[in-house]
Amino acid sequence: QAKETGRNLYQFYSPDMNERAFERLFLDSDLHRALARNELELYFQPQIDLAQGHVVGAEALLRWNHATKGQISPVVFIPLAEESDLILDIGGWVIEEACRHARQWHDQGYTDLRVAVNLSARQFRSDLPDIVARVLHETGLPAHLLELELTESLLMERPELARTILNKLRYLGNHLSIDDFGTGYSSLSYLKHFPIDRLKIDRSFVKDLNVDPDDAIIVEAIIALAHGLRLNVVAEGVETSDQFEFMRQRGCDEIQGYVVARPMPADDFLRYLQKSKRQTES
Ligand code: C2E
Ligand code: MG
Ligand code: MG
Ligand code: MG
């Protein structure tokens, strides 16, 4: 049925077509032009080391500045891009752009500042290490300053391929972290088999920390698990000072969230760095 419709193009515009699918169709064709039209932009959200209070890194988060619809969330357009190889072009651009910015911070004297990039399952192919190596070479960013964020499901889909790729990335010197930890299709054994550096505690556990005792238990368990395995642990989506204090007291290594700063354009992020540097110096 779907194939029939595909061949019969005029049916796309039949009146019974629901509005959302219609909207999607347009977004999808716009998205194919977004890169060429310079409509994609990386925002950066600081990650703070709780022991020192320093900015130690930033997560690169993609934004689409659509010409007529305004800014569109990655939650909306990444799944669209993932339906085709478009995600490979977009994902490659994200790696390049993130490394280019991190190299600039490095040149401005922030020599230890990491940048973290989110990867899609479709990017997780055997050519990924070559792409990363080329970008590092071209931008001159030291490999240990690039962190790649993976999800549990991405690793579990094809564990053997994943292991080969992760070993190569690790060999290059990249940092590897598990995003949204605890929400995926979890098999903790992968923590033993994959060369992972960090766990990112998902925001869903952080959100109700001070009202739901179960979430507090889960967060404590993740911190203990990470430290037991000699992994670094980051809490994401920390919004309140209570949550901040909870993480500090429980020995979570780093936090990221609105309580510190929202994701921001590159220029603002550089100003943010300069401001926090002056604060720690005075
Ligand atoms: P994620 O990787 O888990 O990123 C964290 C999300 O939480 C970001 O949403 C960030 O803006 C948001 N966030 C951070 N702190 C707080 C907080 O304190 N409170 C709340 N409510 N939210 C907070 P964003 O930027 O909308 O990105 C959503 C998701 O889209 C990301 O989740 C990631 O899975 C995906 N994404 C973003 N950029 C890229 C990209 O370049 N490539 C790929 N493949 N996926 C991306
Ligand atoms: Mg992420
Ligand atoms: Mg996350
Ligand atoms: Mg998330």
What is the reported pLDDT for 5? Answer: 46
Rounded to whole angstroms, the Cα distance separating 51 from 30 reads 45
Nearest of 117, 132, 122 to residue 161 by alpha carbon? 122
Lowest mean pLDDT, pick from 7-21, 140-154, 214-228: 7-21
Residue nearest to atom 33 of ligand 1 (CA): 118
**CB burial readout 235-247, b (16+ within 10 A) else e:** bbbbeeeebbebb
Query: Cβ < 6 Å from ligand 1: which residues?
Result: 45, 61-62, 73-75, 78, 91, 94, 118-120, 149, 179-180, 203, 236-239, 256-258, 263
Whole-number Å distance, alpha carbon 60 to ligand 3 midpoint, is 11
Rounded to whole angstroms, the Cα distance separating 63 from 66 reads 9
What is the reported pLDDT for 167? Answer: 97
Q: Which of 6-15, 18-27, 227-236 is modeled with the greatest confidence?
A: 227-236
What is the reported pLDDT for 189? Answer: 81
The complex scores an ipTM of: 0.98
Could you give the percent of the chain with pLDDT greater than 70?
Answer: 92
What is the reported pLDDT for 262? Answer: 98
Whole-number Å distance, alpha carbon 15 to ligand 1 midpoint, is 36
Mutate to test the pocket of ligand 1, among 35, 95, 118, 204 (most ligand atoms within 8 A of CB): 118
Angle (nearest 5°) at CA 131 between 172 and 110: 60
Residue nearest to atom 2 of ligand 1 (CA): 118
Rg (the chain; Cα; Å): 20
**Residue range 232-279, pLDDT digits in tens:** 999 999 999 999 999 999 999 999 999 999 999 999 999 999 999 888
